[in-house]
Amino acid sequence: MAQHTHEMEVRVRYQETDGQRRVHHANYLTYFEMARTEMLRSRGTTYRAFEEAGLLMVVAEVSCKYRAAAEYDDLLVIRTWVEKIGGASIEHGYEVIRGTTILATGSTTVVCVDPEGKVRRLPEWLLT
């Protein structure tokens, strides 16, 4: 997979917020997952195609550092990039941005497995 940066926009929905109208911390992980999926789509394939090939990507590690709060109705940009590709894993980096302010940064490591949970090498078509 050639390294590039992908950006997607998301508007904060009311149900994503807590009692103070701020985005609940767990929703940042959902934003990361949405961004990974859309990054894959921007490269001309889908996660569905990955599953149809008999493979799954499972999250093995995740981190998120919160810098400032996103709030209801904010328009956010989720910036995603590939940090590292291993034989069976991909590490992504993320920034959650409102305007020019970085609200959160994070990373995930996803691992390729078969339906039985055995680790498998990443397919060649994903790496090109």
Q: Give the catalytic positions in this structure.
A: 18
Helix intervals (H) in the chain: 27-42, 47-52, 124-127
Q: What are the C-alpha distances in Å from 101 to residues 15, 16, 40, 70, 76? A: 23, 20, 25, 10, 10
Give the residue from 77, 90, 54 showing the smallest Cα distance to 8.
77
**Which tokens go with 62?**
């995740």
